[in-house]
A and B are shown apart, each in its own frame.
Chain A
Amino acid sequence: MSFISWQFPFFLLGFVLLYWRLPHRPRLWFLLLGSYTFYGFWDVRFLALVFTTTVVDYLCALGIVGEKCRPVQWLALVFLPFSWLAAMALMVPAAGIDQKVLYTALAATVLFLVGYGLVWRLPEAARPRGFLLLSLGFCLAILGFFKYFNFFLSSAAAALAGLGLSPDWPTLYIILPVGISFYTFQSLGYVIDVYRGQGPVCRDLLVFAVFDAYFPQMVAGPIERGRTLIPQLITDLKFQAADLHEGLIRILVGFFKKVFVADNCALLANYVFDPGTSLNAPWALLGGVAFAFQIYGDFSGYTDIARGTAKLLGVELVHNFHFPYFARNPSDFWSRWHISLSTWFRDYVYIPLGGNRGTDWQTTRNLLFTMLLAGLWHGAAWTFVIWGAYHGFLLLLYRFGPFTWLNRKEYNSLGLGLLAGVIMTVLTVVGWAIFRSPTLGHFWTWLTALGAWGTRTLPWHSSFWWLAIHVAPLLLLQGLTWRRADETKLLDLPWVARGVIYALLFILVVSSTAQDQEFIYFQF
Chain B
Amino acid sequence: MIRRLFADFLLALCLLLVAELAVRLFLPHDVSGRFSYGYDREAGFVESGEVVRLVRAGGRRFHPQTFSRRRPPDTLRIMVIGDSVPRGPSLAAAYPGQLQELLAAAGMKVEVINLAIPGFGARRSRLVVEKILQYEPSLIILHLNDSNEYEDEREYRRSREFQGWHPRHWLMKSFILARAYEIKTEKLQWRLLPETIRQQQLLNDADAELAASLDEAQQRRWQQRFWETTRETVALIRERSIPVILVIQASRQAGDQGPERLDDHGLGALAQSLQGPGVQVVSMGQVFSGLNPLRQYFADSAHLTPTGHRRLAAALAAVIRGRGQGAGH
Contact = CB atoms under 8 A, between A and B. Distances in A.
Interface of A: 6, 10, 241-242, 245, 248, 267-268, 270-271, 274, 458-459, 462-463, 465-466, 469, 495-496, 498-503, 506-508, 510-515
Interface stretch (B42-50, B181-189, B248-256, B291-299): B181-189
A180 to B, nearest CB: 28
Interface in B5-23: 5-12, 14-16
Given A10-B167, A499-B10, A515-B203, A510 B180 contact: yes
B3 to A, nearest CB: 10
B2 interface: yes
Given A271-B200, A466-B188, A514-B203, A506 B12 contact: yes
B194 A458 contact: yes
A462 B194 contact: yes
A116 B254 CA distance: 82
Contacts of A458: 194, 196-197
Residue in A466, A502, A506, A514 whose Cβ sees the most chain B Cβ within 10 Å: A514
B181 A514 contact: yes
Given A466-B193, A511-B183, A512-B184, A499 B9 contact: yes
Nearest to B184: A511
Contact of B7 (A242, A274, A495, A510): A495
User: What 4 pairs between A and B have smallest CB-CB spacing?
Assistant: A499-B11, A502-B12, A498-B8, A511-B184
Contacts of A502: 8-9, 11-12
Contacts of B200: 270-271, 274
Contacts of B240: none
Interface class of chain B by DSSP:
helix
Given A270-B201, A511-B177, 6 more contacts: A271-B196, A458-B196, A462-B191, A499-B7, A500-B11, A506-B12
B171 interface: yes
A242 B5 contact: yes
Contact of A503 (B12, B181, B194, B203): B12
B204 interface: yes
Contacts of B11: 495-496, 498-500, 502-503
B176 interface: yes
Contacts of B188: 466, 469
B201 to A, nearest CB: 6
B193 A267 contact: yes
B181 A271 contact: no
B184 to A, nearest CB: 4
Given A242-B5, A245-B6, A503-B15, A510 B194 contact: no
Contact of B8 (A270, A499, A507): A499
Contacts of B183: 511
Nearest to A268: B197
Contacts of B171: 510, 513
B251 to A, nearest CB: 25
A507 B196 CA distance: 27
A506 B16 contact: yes
A411 to B, nearest CB: 37
A268 to B, nearest CB: 7
A511 to B, nearest CB: 4
Interface of B: 1-2, 5-12, 14-16, 161, 166-168, 171-172, 176-177, 180-181, 183-185, 188, 191-194, 196-197, 200-201, 203-204
Contact of A463 (B7, B185, B192): B192
12 contacts: A10-B167, A245-B6, A462-B192, A462-B193, A466-B193, A496-B11, A499-B8, A503-B15, A507-B176, A511-B184, A513-B181, A515-B203
Contacts of A513: 171, 181
A451 B154 CA distance: 39
Contacts of A6: 166-168
Contacts of B180: 507-508, 510-511
Nearest to B200: A271
A447 to B, nearest CB: 22
A357 B144 CA distance: 82
A499 B15 contact: yes
Contacts of A268: 197
Nearest to B193: A466
B168 A463 contact: no
A503 B10 CA distance: 10
A248 B9 contact: yes
Contacts of A514: 161, 181, 185, 203-204
A239 B36 CA distance: 46
Contacts of A496: 8, 11
Contact of B181 (A245, A499, A501, A511): A511
A241 B194 contact: no
A495 B171 CA distance: 25
Residue in A242, A248, A502, A507 whose Cβ sees the most chain B Cβ within 10 Å: A507
A477 to B, nearest CB: 15
Given A500-B15, A510-B181, A513-B181, A463 B194 contact: yes
A267 B197 contact: yes
A459 B196 CA distance: 11
A42 to B, nearest CB: 19
Contacts of A242: 5
Contacts of B176: 507
Nearest to A240: B5
A384 B66 CA distance: 66
A389 to B, nearest CB: 31
Contacts of B7: 495, 499
B11 to A, nearest CB: 3
Contacts of B161: 514
A245 B1 CA distance: 12
A513 B167 CA distance: 13
A496 B15 CA distance: 11
A506 B13 CA distance: 10
Contact of B192 (A465, A500, A507, A515): A465
A462 B176 CA distance: 26
B16 A463 contact: no
Nearest to A510: B177
A372 to B, nearest CB: 33
A270 B196 CA distance: 12
Nearest to A508: B180
A466 B177 contact: no
Contacts of B193: 267, 462-463, 466
Contacts of A498: 8, 11-12
A507 B171 CA distance: 10
Contacts of B14: 499
Contacts of A245: 5-6, 9
Residue in B2, B11, B171 whose Cβ sees the most chain A Cβ within 10 Å: B11
A261 to B, nearest CB: 14
A514 B201 CA distance: 12
A512 B11 CA distance: 23
Contacts of A501: 12
Contact of B177 (A248, A463, A507): A507
Contacts of A274: 200
Nearest to A497: B8
A6 to B, nearest CB: 4
A241 B2 contact: yes
